[in-house]
Amino acid sequence: MSDAPKPSNFIRDAVIEDLQTRRFKGVVTRFPPEPNGYLHIGHAQAISIDFGAAREFGGRCHLRFDDTNPAKESQEYVDAIMRDVRWLGFDWGEHLYHASDYFEQLYEWAVQLIKMGKAYVDDLTADQMSEYRGTLTEPGRESPYRNRSVAENLGLFERMRHGEFEDGSKTLRAKIDMSSGNINLRDPVMYRIRKATHQRTGDTWCIYPMYDWAHGQSDSIEGVTHSICTLEYEDHRPLYDWYLEQLAIHHPRQIEFARLNLSHTVMSKRKLLTLVEEGLVSGWDDPRMPTLAGLRRRGYTPEAIRDFCERVGVTKAANLRDIALLEHCVREDLNRRALRRMAVLRPLRLVIENYPEERVEELDAVNNPEDARAGTRKVPFSRVLYIEQDDFRDPPPPKYFRLSPGAEVRLRYAYVVKCTGVVKGLGGEVTEVRCTYDPASRGGDSRGRKVKGTIHWVSASHAVPAEVRLYDNLFSVPKPDEVEDVKTVLNPRSLETLTGCRVEPSLAGAAPESRYQFERQGYFCVDGPDSLPAGLVFNRTVGLRDTWAKIEAARA
C-alpha cells in the first residue's frame, strides 16, 4: 500500500487533535463486523478507514467479531470475513477478538449497574415495550416493573442467566430517562433471553447482550481510542457515552461517517441473504453480488477497491456513488497490470485460401503495451482461424470498418486479409468466411493501402475451448433500495453464459483468479477452483468502455 500522505478529513483531523491534546497517547481502532453474512463493498470503506487510521498514526487496528446474536451467526461467516479483510490488504496481527470473549465481564458490569439502581429486569413484551417507548414527539411511559428493588432485579437477572425463563419473557434494561428526546436513551434493552447455541460458547449462555451494551464496553476493554462508526450510530453515541460514564472505565471517542451507497446494488445483508437463500444468485460469492468475495471472483483487485474507497472519501452527508466510478478504478488498475490475450467469444470460421494448409507461424504479440517489462509472447497462426461473428457483415452497415465482402482488415499481429466469399447454412446464416492474405503484410503492414479495421483472432487448431460469463449490474435501476421488493427490479440480463468460446493456447494453464484483458472485449478473470465445472471458465470483470471517464471529461 502507498505511503503517500492521506488527504485531510474530519476523522483524521479528530485523531490529530486527540493526539496533540494528549487525550490519547496513541491510536487504537477496531473493525467490529457481525458474523451474519459476507462483507460487501460498503464494509471495504469502513475497513480502509479503521485500518488506515491505525496504520497512518502508527497504532493498531483490532478485528473484533460482534457475535452477540447466535441465531444468525456462523463460523462460515467468521472465516469469510477474516479471508476478505486479509485479501483487501489489511491484517490485525495478534489482535483478533470476539464480543463473546467478554461475556462474563459484561455480565458483571450489568450486575454493577443493577446495584447502582441504573438497570432493572422488565417483563414487558416486545410489542408492549414499543408501545411504552413513545414517539419522536411524545415521551415514553415508565414500565410498571421499572421500580423493582435492587435485590429483586439481581435475583431475576441471575435466574435469567440460569435459563429459568422462556425466550422473550424478560429483558434487562438500563434505567435512564423515558422522557428523553433521544429514543435510544428511553431505558434501552441491555440483555435478552435467547436459548440458542452459540458458535463459540456453545450453551454456556442463554442471555445475550445487545449491540449497544456490548460494543462500547468491548471498545473499553481493548483500549480502543477511536470507535469509528457509520452515521446511523450518531444518535446512539449518547448511550455509548452513558454506559462508559456510569461504569467509570476507559472512554473511547466515537466518530461517525456516512456509509457508502452504490448505485445498481443493495448493501443490506438481510436483502443480500434473501437473494442467496432464494437462489436468485449462486451464493454470497456470485460475481454479481457487491460482496468482497463476489468482487474477487469477478476479477476486481484489492488495489482497485482501496483506490475506490480513497476516491469516495469520508463524509457526513449520505450520497449515492455511481457504480461507474468503481468500474473506472478497476479498469485503471487492470490496464496497468493485466496481460493481453486474444479470445473469440462467438466464433466464426475464417479460411485463408492462399495460405499453405500445413504451415504454422509463431507471431510476436505484445503482453501489455502499458508495461514494457511484460515483454511479448508467441501466438500460433494457421490457415484456419476463428474471428468474432460481429467482425463480419454482409452487407456491411454504414461506417463499418471490419470484414465484409471485398473489404480488407488487419488481423492483429498477423497479416492483412481480404474477403473473397462466404459459406452460408441452410437458414442463410454465415458459417464460414473465405479470404486471401497478403504475405508481404506480416505484422499488419498495409504497404500504403488504407486499411482501417483491425480484428482479433485465434488459430482454430490451436485454440482452447472455454466458457465465458458476461456479467452486468444485478439490478436494472440505480436505486433498488427505494423499491418495495428488490426482487422485482432484478436485471434479467445480469448474466449471459457463452459456451463454445475459443481462447489462445497460452491461456490453457491459466490459474484461478488470474486476470487478463481480452483484446477488444474487456477484462476477464479465471473463475475460482471451487466453482469450476469441467473446463476453463472466465468471468468478465468489466468492459473496455469507460463511462465514468466520459462523464468526468464532459464535466471538465
Establish whether 259 is a catalytic residue. yes
Residue 423's domain spans which residues? 343-456
- Based on the residue annotation, tell me whether 269 is a catalytic residue of this protein: yes
Q: Which of 206, 226, 257 is the last residue of a domain?
A: 257
Round to the nearest angstrom and report the end-to-end CA distance of the chain.
Answer: 30
In this structure, are 323 and 359 located in the same domain? no
Contacts (Cβ under 8 Å, ≥6 apart) of 281:
275, 288, 289, 474
Co-location of 445 and 495 in the same domain: no
Is residue 11 in some structural domain? no
Amino acid occupying residue 439: P
128, 244: one domain: yes
Residues 400 and 311 reside in one and the same domain: no
2 part of a folded domain: no
Q: Which of 253, 269, 341, 502 is catalytic?
A: 269
Asked if 308 and 250 sit in the same domain, the reply is no
The domain boundary, picked from 222, 257, 292, lies at 257
- We report the CATH number of the domain holding residue 360 as 2.40.240.10
In a domain, 524, yes or no: yes
Strand runs labelled E in 443-514: 454-455, 458-459, 464-471, 495-503
Task: Verify that 325 and 375 share a domain, yes or no.
Answer: no
Q: What's the CATH code of the domain at 180? A: 3.40.50.620
Q: Which among 431, 456, 481 is the end of a domain?
A: 456
Pairing of strands 171-174, 119-122: antiparallel
Answer yes or no: do 514 and 483 share one domain: yes
Backbone angles phi, psi at 241, to 5 degrees: -70, -40
Contacts of 275 by beta carbon, 8 Å cutoff, 6+ apart = 281, 289, 487
The yes-or-no answer on residue 146 being catalytic is: no
**Backbone dihedral angles phi then psi of residue 149, each to the nearest 5 degrees:** -70, 160
Question: pTM of the full predicted structure?
Answer: 0.93
Angle in degrees, CA 263, 268, 270, rounded to 5: 145
Of the candidates 275, 244, 260, 336, which has an alpha carbon nearest to the alpha carbon of residue 489? Answer: 275
Same domain, 331 and 414: no
What ranges make up the beta strands (E) of 109-202? 119-122, 171-174, 189-193
Q: By C-alpha distance, which of 90, 523, 136, 95 is closest to 341?
A: 523
Q: What is the domain count for the chain? A: 3
pLDDT tens by residue, the chain, 556 residues: 445 566 679 999 999 999 999 999 999 999 999 999 999 999 999 999 999 999 999 999 999 999 999 999 999 999 999 999 999 999 999 999 999 999 999 999 999 999 999 999 999 999 999 999 999 999 999 999 999 999 999 999 999 999 999 999 999 999 999 999 999 999 999 999 999 999 999 999 999 999 999 999 999 999 999 999 999 999 999 999 999 999 999 999 999 999 999 999 999 999 999 999 999 999 999 999 999 999 999 999 999 999 999 999 999 988 899 999 999 999 999 999 999 999 999 999 999 999 999 999 999 999 999 999 999 999 999 999 999 999 999 999 999 999 999 999 999 999 999 999 999 999 989 999 999 999 999 987 777 788 999 999 999 999 999 999 999 999 999 999 999 999 999 999 999 999 999 999 999 989 999 999 999 999 999 998 665 556 899 999 999 987 666 666 666 5
Which is the catalytic residue, given 83, 200, 259, 321? 259
The cell for 283 is 451464493
> Which residue intervals of 211-301 are DSSP H helices?
211-222, 237-247, 269-277, 292-298
Q: Are residues 333 and 378 in the same domain?
A: no
- Give one word for 294, left, alpha or beta, with left for phi > 0 and alpha for psi -120 to 50: alpha
Task: Based on the fold, state whether residues 493 and 510 are members of the same structural domain.
Answer: yes
Are residue 119 and residue 224 in the same domain, yes or no?
Answer: yes
